């Protein structure tokens, strides 16, 4: 793997957490969090994806589904760690176990709500409209899903408490951009880069809509409970294909000739990112350096 490819892979697991940033490299996972007293606490550990440890799991599409599951797992751990740092020391000791349980339940609930809102409800609404043509049925189903995603993103941007997370999201993107371009990052250099990044979970949502639309058109109009179950069973495939599309966006040739395909997702990131402050970028850089510790020791 080339140095550029190695850097690119970092962004797959990067994300903003409460008052902090998680970075995931090919060999390490690191979460850096700004504490109430102004310091930065880092939790770093060795983490190698199952797709790297087992060749059969590194098959295109399959690996996408595996990486997404892993991302949910590490996200719960990162959110739990972040939430713990926001507590007073005494409160942290009392609630440490409960925090992990609460975060796990929150993510599980989010998955259920996401399935209901973005797959089940659009299907039921389209059935209620009554289209008989498989093409029109799935086109309307996809458009409803797209509208729901836009509404969801718009509503969370109205939530005042989310603004800090969006700022850390922007800090994560700027830091990754600077690292990919220059190999070393400082708050001053990172501030010069865009907060919009093609390999972002926001862009991923739009790719999911497009991939699901194309796949469901091939499946036709669901006629009964069994057809609906078959349709829903393809959701991991949709996630895996969408991951491959997002991964391909890192290639210079794809950016050169198909970059326009990813611009809708980039535009949507104007809602899910905010311009960060230098101290937020400092947190993102700390997480990045911790995730690269193995690489730094080798150099």
Q: pTM for the whole thing?
A: 0.83
Q: How is residue 5 written in tokens?
A: 């490819």
Contact 162, 155 (CB under 8 A): no
Contact 31, 22 (CB under 8 A): yes
Residues 135-160: what's their mean pLDDT? 92
Residues 135-161: what's their mean pLDDT? 92
Please report which confidence band the pLDDT of residue 35 belongs to, taking 50, 70 and 90 as the band edges. confident
Please report which confidence band the pLDDT of residue 200 belongs to, taking 50, 70 and 90 as the band edges. confident
Please report which confidence band the pLDDT of residue 7 belongs to, taking 50, 70 and 90 as the band edges. very low
Coil, strand or helix at 75? helix
> Considering only CA atoms, which of 152, 79, 76 is closest in space to residue 114?
152
Please report which confidence band the pLDDT of residue 87 belongs to, taking 50, 70 and 90 as the band edges. low
Position 103 scores a pLDDT of 67
Q: Tell me: the pLDDT tens digits for 212-230?
A: 999 999 999 998 899 999 9
Q: Which residue has the tokens 């718009």?
A: 154
The packing angle between helices 263-272 and 134-157, to 10°, is: 30
């Amino acid at each position: 793997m080339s140095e550029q490819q190695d850097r690119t892979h970092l962004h797959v697991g990067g994300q903003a957490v409460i008052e902090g940033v998680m970075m995931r490299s090919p060999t390490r996972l690191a979460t850096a969090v700004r504490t109430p007293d102004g310091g930065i606490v880092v939790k770093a550990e060795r983490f190698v994806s199952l797709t790297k440890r087992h060749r059969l799991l590194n098959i295109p599409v399959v690996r996408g589904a595996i990486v997404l599951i892993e991302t949910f797992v590490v996200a719960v751990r990162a959110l739990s760690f972040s939430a713990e740092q926001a507590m007073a020391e005494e409160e942290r000791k009392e609630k440490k176990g409960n925090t992990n349980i609460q975060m796990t339940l929150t993510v599980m609930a989010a998955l259920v709500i996401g399935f209901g809102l973005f797959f089940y409800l659009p299907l039921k609404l389209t059935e209620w409209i009554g289209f008989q043509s498989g093409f029109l049925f799935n086109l309307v189903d996809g458009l409803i899903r797209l509208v729901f995603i836009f509404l969801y993103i718009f509503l969370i941007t109205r939530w005042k408490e989310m603004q800090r997370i969006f700022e850390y999201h922007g800090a994560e993107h700027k830091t990754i951009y600077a690292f990919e371009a220059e190999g070393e990052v400082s708050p001053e250099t990172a501030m010069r880069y865009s907060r919009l990044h093609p390999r972002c979970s926001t862009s991923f949502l739009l790719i999911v809509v497009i991939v699901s639309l194309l796949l469901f058109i091939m499946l036709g109009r669901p006629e009964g409970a069994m057809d609906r179950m078959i349709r829903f069973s393809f959701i991991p495939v949709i996630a895996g294909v969408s991951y491959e599309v997002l991964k391909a966006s890192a290639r210079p040739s794809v950016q050169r000739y198909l970059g326009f395909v990813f611009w809708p997702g980039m535009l949507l990131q104007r809602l899910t990112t905010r311009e960060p402050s230098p101290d937020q970028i400092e947190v993102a850089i700390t997480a990045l350096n911790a995730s690269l510790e193995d690489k730094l020791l080798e150099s």
